[in-house]
């Protein structure tokens, strides 16, 4: 494989994956994958089914521990850190199938994504009730602003169960933004989304990216990948196959073969 090209010049590296390996018994789901993502990039992770993309996300997010290799966030090795510690370091993640609390309102769902501890808030309620009230009001304003930004404000007080698949993806983005992430892992944002909402999602990802947020994106929708990503890593059978611009990788015969082989 051609060595990793690295982030475009002038962009500091925010996420580094170094020789990541994940074994499940006799199966190696991720087999020596390395890449660097620069600040403000939208970096795509693509490949046929079973290539190891979701496992790679799990390794970056900290929901599974690597068998070997390192994950660095802003130069700090977080390989041994739990997922919640990585969230506190500015790493956000959305899931392929978002599962909001169906009976809670959109606003309540977004508010639950706050990073401070409820227990701490309860304790502070006795000590400084005024401050707690002010913080609650600020969080509510922020959640409403995010719902507005993600075109869901008019549904803020509706239960999340009324949302379509695409709207759930937008709510998921609002939830992840509540923690002010510097890097967002987006798992198949286009899956199960109708064409109109897909345009909204693409537009909002761009708008979030323009605010300086870096994205790592898993997506099977190649049109979306081509429109959003500046660089792409193709994986197949757990291994890195090639890396480049979406245009470069789509012309690579190894990529075509990997997809046809998996079809
Ligand atoms: N917890 C697990 N235990 C055992 N095997 C697993 C586990 N998670 C993933 N695998 C296996 O690892 C391989 C890679 O799976 P993974 O879900 O990471 O691929 P993917 O590229 O995300 O696929 P898709 O595009 O279908 O979502 C597959 O063979 C899968 O069956």
Domains of the chain by residue range: 13-100+179-262, 101-162
Q: Is the pLDDT of residue 116 over 50?
A: yes
Average of per-residue pLDDT across 139-153? 95
pTM: 0.90
**Rounded to the nearest whole angstrom, what is the distance from the C-alpha of residue 61 to the centroid of ligand 1?**
15
24 lines ligand 1 (CB under 6 A): yes
Q: Is 258 in the pocket of ligand 1 (CB under 6 A)?
A: no
Question: What angle is formed at CA 65 by the lines to CA 38 and CA 192, rounded to 5 degrees?
Answer: 65
- Looking at ligand 1, which atom is closest to the CA of residue 54? 22
Cβ-based neighbours of 198, under 8 Å, separated by 6 or more: 166, 190, 221, 224
Q: Which residue's C-alpha comes closest to atom 26 of ligand 1?
A: 49
Question: For ligand 1, atom 11, which residue shows the shortest CA distance?
Answer: 29
- What is the CATH topology of the domain spanning 13-100+179-262? Rossmann fold (3.40.50)
Residue 77, CA distances (Å) to 62, 135, 233 in order: 12, 32, 21
106, two tokens: 């959109």
Q: How much is the ipTM here?
A: 0.96
CA-CA distance, 108 to 69, in Å (whole number)?
38
Q: Which helix (H) or strand (E) holds 142?
A: helix 129-149
- CB-hemisphere CA count at 13 Å for 258? 22
Nearest CA to ligand 1 atom 18: 52
Q: Is the CB of 109 under 6 A from ligand 1?
A: no
pLDDT in tens, 151-198: 999 999 999 999 998 999 999 999 999 999 999 999 999 988 888 999
The CA distance from 81 to 150, in Å, is 31
């Amino acid at each position: 494989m051609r060595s990793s090209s690295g982030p475009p010049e002038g962009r500091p590296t925010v996420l580094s994956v170094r020789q990541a390996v994940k074994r499940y018994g006799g199966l190696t789901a991720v087999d020596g994958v390395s890449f660097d993502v620069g600040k403000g990039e939208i970096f795509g992770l693509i490949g046929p089914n079973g290539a190891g993309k979701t496992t790679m996300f799990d390794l970056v997010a900290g929901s599974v521990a690597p068998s070997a290799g390192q994950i660095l966030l802003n130069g700090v090795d977080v390989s041994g850190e739990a997922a919640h510690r990585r969230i506190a370091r500015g790493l956000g993640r959305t899931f392929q199938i978002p599962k909001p609390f169906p009976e809670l309102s959109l606003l309540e769902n977004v508010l639950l994504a706050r990073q401070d501890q409820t227990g701490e808030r309860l304790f502070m309620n006795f000590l400084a009730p005024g401050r707690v009230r002010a913080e609650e009001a600020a969080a509510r304003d922020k959640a409403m602003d995010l719902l507005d930004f993600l075109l869901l404000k008019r549904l803020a007080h509706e239960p999340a169960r009324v949302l379509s698949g695409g709207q759930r993806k937008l709510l998921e983005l609002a939830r992840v933004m509540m923690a002010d992430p510097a890097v967002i892992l987006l798992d198949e944002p286009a899956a199960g989304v109708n064409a109109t909402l897909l345009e909204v999602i693409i537009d909002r990802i761009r708008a979030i990216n323009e605010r300086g947020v870096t994205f790592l994106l898993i997506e099977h929708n190649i049109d979306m990948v081509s429109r959003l990503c500046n660089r792409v890593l193709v994986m197949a059978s757990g291994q890195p196959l090639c890396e480049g611009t979406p245009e470069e990788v789509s012309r690579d015969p190894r990529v075509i073969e990997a997809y046809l082989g998996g079809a």
